[in-house]
Amino acid sequence: MDSLENKIQKLISSFKGIEPGKILNVIIKHDNGCPALRSHNLSDCTCNPEIITKGENKNGN
């Protein structure tokens, strides 16, 4: 299991490669039963979440 620090590092590194001016969507997928699903607090996370980032054009084109 990743430590909280590792999870945050993973989150930060997933932001890299997103160009400035793009809208960033961040989706953190937790395992079923992870306490962070209810608390929405990453520090409660006991699973190994999948972090998905998407940069989108502001005018949707």
Task: Report which of 28, 24, 35 is spatially closest to residue 10, judged by C-alpha positions.
Answer: 28
Using CB under 5 A as the binding rule, whether residue 47 contacts Zn ion is answered as yes
Please answer whether residues 46 and 1 qualify as being in contact, where contact means their C-beta atoms are separated by less than 8 angstroms: yes
36 contributes a contact to Zn ion by CB under 5 A: yes
DSSP-assigned beta bridge partners for residue 23: 56
| Residue 45 engages Zn ion in binding (rule: CB under 5 A) | yes
- Work out the widest C-alpha separation in the chain, in whole angstroms: 39
- Residue 45 CB, nearest approach to Zn ion (Å): 3
Site residues for Zn ion, 13-32, by CB under 5 A, read 30
Residues in contact with Zn ion by CB under 5 A are 30, 34, 36, 45, 47, 49
